[in-house]
Amino acid sequence: MAKPRGFRSDQIGVPDHIKALRRWYGALLRRGARYLDPTGAQRQDVADARERAARDLAENHRATLAAVVEHSDNAIIGTTLGGIVTAWNGGAERLFGYPAAEVIGRPASVLADPGGLDEQKDVLARITRGERSLQYEARRVHKDGSPLELAVTVAPILEHGGTIIGISVVARDIAAAKEAAERRRLVEERTHQAQRMESLGKLAGGVAHDFNNILAIIVNYTDFAAEQSRDPAVQADLEHVRIAADRAISLTHQLLVFTRGDTIQPQHLDLNAAIDEVRSMLYRTIGEDVELRTTPAPAPLTVHADPGQIQQILLNLSLNARDAMPDGGTLVIEANRASLDEHQIDMHPALAPGSYARLLVSDTGEGMTAAVAAHIFEPFFTTKPRGQGTGLGLSTVYGIVAEAGGSINVYSEPGVGTTFRVYLPLVEAPRDAAIPRAVETAVPQGREETVLVVEDEPALGRIVARILVQGGYRVLSAESGQEALDLDAEHGCDLLLTDVIMPGMSGPRLAELLGTRHPGLPVLYMSGYSNGLLGTTHVLDPEIAFIEKPFTAHDLLRRISAVLTGAATKS
């Protein structure tokens, strides 16, 4: 038999009035109303229980939030509208150095330096006027007096009715972040500068070849005319031409140094000795109104660099210093050891931490602004009047220093003076002796040997041919690799004198093809690209005979003779 609808086993035998009472009681509970128990006492309903649970949950939430606030790395501070500190978490203790007992009840101005007091007053006034939140960077003071760089967020504390009853402050130390951002900016700036200099270097390298060819023509035709003329006036004019050409050659060399394309011969040398050599030169050039002081290192400072380039660094910096002291002053050149760490931020280029040899060139001149100092290593940048500066001096120094694995730093203040610091890798134990200077000897004459001259600049080819003929050689002249192969096939040759970079066929490729015909054929390379055969180290390979354009007749004849003599010795 089916159970009646609504039948429940626990209600069997329960009187109807009891069932009705239970239903009424359950309804009261569901409605959240109060009720009386059978004795008549008033009891709290379920809604109050829920309220208590809600209050407990809120208390737990507040306790958790308080723990989060207390243990936050950020400083979280409460103040009155008048700026009196009312709350102070553990982060504030760690950031500012004050325990809560020392700062609560005191004005927040205790955290500000004189420059920050007005800022604090302004912020309090703006919050009081109704601004909801302020975010800014501020400078505050630690308990020990050290400065703090902070990011600050200030907001009002509101009661239930919306009335402002206080101010909350969240402060975060950003000194490390700002330093890291500044380092990134400097790295990016140096990277962009390096890219610009690389682009300019490629441009300079592209024109150096032709420019040196032109200079070679000017120099040698000037020498030819000077040899043939007996007129003193003509001789004087030609001397002026030669001086101007020599200046152009010097500028080209500086440009090649900047592009890291100059021929260098590094060796172990003592910077103290380099200073001694430069000092004697400077006494004759800086003028009597400039006092020169030199302070060598107490012990030898050995570096691996080209001696001529070290001298060029010191001369360029010293002459710049002289120009910065038109009314006289003091020039100081020093050498010492220095240790660098990873925090060096103004190095050109960036340098790894370690111990370095350091050259310092200081002056008491006009100094530079930060805006000017930011550009001084850029090629062609100059503050000198038009016609008085090339803008290559400091970019040349930069190129030399970077090539040697070092870095340069400049510090300057207008009206005070300038100090350049050059850092070079130290060599703790010299391994080789200094290379002695070559002794001038008479120009050797040829013995009718046939020299195959390959030069794609016809005018320069004619100059070279003329020098060789006057030097006792037979000459075959070609303007391309293929023409040279044809001439050799017809006449043969005893030595190949070829440009390195030529249209269609390079000099090394031509030498390779001729070497298959004439094993052991002597080859002398010439190039305005002085880095054409130097490889990635830019050091001249002693196994390759090379002469840099522009060259003089004496230079070329000596080099030709040496290559022929060397080939005869090997054979």
Is residue 43 included in any domain, yes or no?
A: no
Is residue 18 included in any domain, yes or no?
A: no
Q: Express each pLDDT in 20-53 by its tens digit.
A: 555 544 554 444 444 444 444 445 555 566 677 7
What stretch of H or E contains 335? strand 329-340
**Percentages (nearest 5) of helix, strand, coil residues in the chain:** 45, 20, 35
Q: Express each pLDDT in 450-501 by its tens digit.
A: 999 999 888 788 888 989 998 999 999 999 999 999 999 999 999 999 987 7
The pLDDT value given to residue 502: 78
Regarding whether 397 and 295 lie in a shared domain, the answer is yes
Q: Hey, how many other C-beta atoms are within 10 angstroms of the C-beta on 559?
A: 17
Task: Return d(Cα 475, Cα 250) in angstroms, integer.
Answer: 30
Q: Express each pLDDT in 104-126 by its tens digit.
A: 999 998 998 877 888 888 998 99
How does residue 430 score in pLDDT terms, banded at 50, 70 and 90? very low
Residue 204 CA, distance from chain mean position: 21
The pLDDT value given to residue 538: 35
CATH for 112: 3.30.450.20
Asked if 424 and 303 count as a contact pair (C-beta separation under 8 A), the reply is: yes
Regarding whether 156 and 206 lie in a shared domain, the answer is no
Regarding whether 497 and 482 lie in a shared domain, the answer is yes
Regarding whether 389 and 285 lie in a shared domain, the answer is yes
Task: Return d(Cα 394, Cα 561) in angstroms, integer.
Answer: 38
The tokens describing 426, both together, are 């130290």
Is residue 40 included in any domain, yes or no?
A: no
Q: Express each pLDDT in 436-459 by its tens digit.
A: 443 445 678 899 999 999 998 887
Is residue 71 included in any domain, yes or no?
A: yes
Regarding whether 337 and 372 lie in a shared domain, the answer is yes
Which residues lie below 8 Å from residue 270, measured CB to CB, with a gap of 6+?
Answer: 300, 301, 302, 430
Is residue 13 included in any domain, yes or no?
A: no
CATH for 551: 3.40.50.2300
Regarding whether 392 and 271 lie in a shared domain, the answer is yes
Regarding whether 491 and 350 lie in a shared domain, the answer is no
The pLDDT value given to residue 529: 46
522-528: average pLDDT: 82
Parent domain of 95: 64-173
The pLDDT value given to residue 264: 63
Regarding whether 195 and 334 lie in a shared domain, the answer is no
498-505: average pLDDT: 82
Residue ending a domain, choose from 410, 425, 440: 425
Asked if 310 and 269 count as a contact pair (C-beta separation under 8 A), the reply is: yes
Specify the pTM: 0.41
Residue ending a domain, choose from 208, 229, 258: 258
Regarding whether 538 and 394 lie in a shared domain, the answer is no
The pLDDT value given to residue 431: 44
The DSSP line for 463-476 is: HHHHHHHHTT-EEE
Is residue 546 included in any domain, yes or no?
A: yes
Residue 534 pLDDT > 70? no
Residue ending a domain, choose from 126, 154, 173: 173
Is residue 368 included in any domain, yes or no?
A: yes
Phi, psi (5° rounding) for residue 364? -105, 40
Is residue 27 included in any domain, yes or no?
A: no
Asked if 402 and 257 count as a contact pair (C-beta separation under 8 A), the reply is: no
**Number of domains present in the structure of the chain:** 4
CATH for 279: 3.30.565.10
Regarding whether 156 and 69 lie in a shared domain, the answer is yes
Task: Return d(Cα 328, Cα 336) in angstroms, integer.
Answer: 26
Regarding whether 415 and 272 lie in a shared domain, the answer is yes
Regarding whether 398 and 350 lie in a shared domain, the answer is yes
CB-based burial of residue 254 (10 Å sphere; 0-12 exposed, 13-18 middle, 19+ buried)?
Answer: buried
